[in-house]
Amino acid sequence: MQRKYRIVDRKLVETEDGSATVTVFVNPTPDERKLLVDELKIDEHNLVSALDPDELSRIEFEPQHHAIIYSRPQNYCDKERFLFKCGTVGAFLFKDRLAVVVSEDVPLFDSVQISRVQTPAGLLLKLILGAVIHFRGHLKAISAIADELQAEINKSMENKQLFHLFTLEKSLVYYLNFIHSNGLLLERMKATAAKIGFTPEELEILDDIIIENSQCYRQAEISSNILAGLMDARASIVANNLNVLMRNLMIITIAIMVPTLVVSIFSMNVDLPIHHDEPWAFWVILAIASLSAAAILVSRRFKKL
């Protein structure tokens, strides 16, 4: 599926005619892939990389265009069960046009206000800025979800919330990798700005994006460290609670076993004191058993077992 746009009065306007300067290919069909490879001379490897969600960000310089591969978060859905994934966008920058390839239909131009755009190169920077803003939005959502799960863990003994926290921690590790990869791409773009053809205004935007991406990476790193620390603390608390529970069960077991031993001894078929038909024998045995249980419980309290 194709979507065509052109830049009018520094704004992006959708069009259907042949004057489009920006073309977005959503999960391109075989015919569209042939168009990209044969007519636009896009390297087939770069085209496959643009559709690979695990591809790291990079820039390659071709004779007729520049191939920029960068990462952006995928739209979250409930079936992912708290797993936030990343996708890849392929931007192929020509002298007077921009071709964008994505594997799924995502709102590329809704996450940022596409305004004050003069060139396709400037639009490319806006797209990368939109990815950074999208990452920051997901990081805020992950932080909010983690707080809710921790509150539920304090009230529940189930493991479901712990599994969800593990999934969030896994998502943050992925985000750290892809955000760092985007940062390396931005630094490479800044170093080759003259070759790409950025204007002075676009260079300022690029510097702002680098700062935004660095802050985003730092935020993801802090969230990951906090969540990892909380998971370790939670595991220690669970282990300590288990030790306390086993200690209490041991005390209860001992408190039950000693009276049982007393009663068992006097139930043996041998001659024992008060074994004959004394009317108070039952109460004496019951008193000894009760006193033994009470002695164990009292000793536990004073010795803080």
3-state secondary structure 160-195: HHHHHHHHHHHHHHHHHHHHHHHHHHHHHHHHCHHH
Write the pLDDT tens digit of every residue in 227-281. Answer: 888 777 777 777 777 787 888 888 778 777 777 777 776 666 556 566 565 666 6
| Whole-number pLDDT of residue 16 | 78
On the question of pLDDT at 107 being above 60, the answer is yes
pLDDT at 114: 63
Q: Show the CA angle centred on residue 109, arms to residues 104 and 112, nearest 5°.
A: 125
d(CA 185, CA 281): 90
Overall average pLDDT of the 123-150 stretch: 87
Question: Of 22-26, 111-115, 177-181, which gets the smallest average pLDDT?
Answer: 111-115
DSSP 8-state class, residue 102: E
- pLDDT of 195-228, one tens digit each? 888 888 889 989 999 999 999 999 999 988 888 8
What number is the average pLDDT over the span 140-167?
A: 77
Q: Give the pLDDT confidence score for residue 110 in this predicted structure.
A: 67
Going by pLDDT thresholds of 50, 70 and 90, the confidence category of residue 188 is: very high
Report the SS3 class of residue 3.
Answer: strand
Q: Identify which has the larger pLDDT, 124 or 236.
A: 124
Percent of the chain with pLDDT over 90: 12
At 196, list the tokens: 């790409």
Q: Which CATH number fits domain 2-239: 3.30.460.20, 3.40.50.720, 3.40.50.300, 3.30.43.10?
A: 3.30.460.20
Report pLDDT for 155.
Answer: 66
What is the model's pLDDT at position 112? 53
Look over the chain and give the mean of its residue pLDDT values, rounded to a whole number. 81
Helix, strand, or coil here: 261? helix
Ranked by mean pLDDT, the top range of 151-160, 183-192, 236-245 is 183-192
Cβ(149)–Cβ(165) below 8 Å: yes
CA dihedral 175, 24, 51, 91 (to 10 degrees): -70
Tens-place pLDDT, residues 52-99: 888 888 898 888 889 999 998 887 766 667 788 888 999 998 888 888
In terms of C-beta density within 10 A (0-12 exposed, 13-18 middle, 19 or more buried), how is residue 86 classed? buried
Mean pLDDT of 159-182: 85
Higher pLDDT, 286 or 47: 47
CB 91 within 8 A of CB 127: yes
pLDDT over 70, % of the chain: 86
